Structure 1
C-alpha cells in the first residue's frame, strides 16, 4: 500500500535500510584480532568465560558498559533518508 506520494514498498525499504544500518554499525564494533587477558582501560583481569564468548575482547564488562553508554548517547536511531527535512538541507 502506497503512502501519499511514496511508491509501493517505500516504507518497507526504509525499515530494511534502518535495520541494515544498525546491523552494520554493531558488526563494526565487534572485537577483532587477538584478545587480551587484562582490560586495556583499567587493567583488571578479563574473565576466561568472557574471552571464550568474545574472541578478540579487549575490555572488561564494566569498561565495555561505560563505552556502550557513551556511544548510545551520541547515536540517533532516527533514519533521515526518507525525511523531507533532510532533503531541504
Structure 2
C-alpha cells in the first residue's frame, strides 16, 4: 500500500520525465536556436554559446522575467 510520500515521489518523477521529454535537445552550440522565439531577431552567438538552451534574446528574456515577477 502506497503512502503519501510514495505517491508524491511518483508524481514528481512523472513531472520530471515529462519535462525532460519536452525539452529541446541540443547536441552542441551549433544546434541552438538562431532566432528569438519572441521577437524573431537573431540571438547573438555569444548568448547561444553561453546558454545553448536559450530560445530568446537577452532583451526578450528580461521581459519574460519581469512579467513572471509581476505575476506572483
Provide the TM-score with structure 2 as the length reference. 0.55
- CA deviations over 1:9-33 (Å, ceiling 9, x no partner): xxxxxxxxxxxxxxxxxxx9xxx52
**Which structure is larger by alpha-carbon Rg, 1 or 2?**
1
2:33 equivalent to 1:36: yes
- Helix, strand or coil at the partner of 2:70: helix
Unaligned runs of at least 5 residues, structure 2: 1-18, 27-31
| Poorly superposed stretches of 4+, deviation over 4 Å | none
In the alignment, which residue of structure 2 is the partner of 1:70? 67
Q: Aligned-pair RMSD on alpha carbons? A: 1.7
- TM superposition shift of 1:56: 1.4
- Helix, strand or coil at the partner of 1:67: helix
2:45 equivalent to 1:48: yes
Unaligned runs of at least 5 residues, structure 1: 1-27, 76-89
Provide the TM-score with structure 1 as the length reference. 0.45
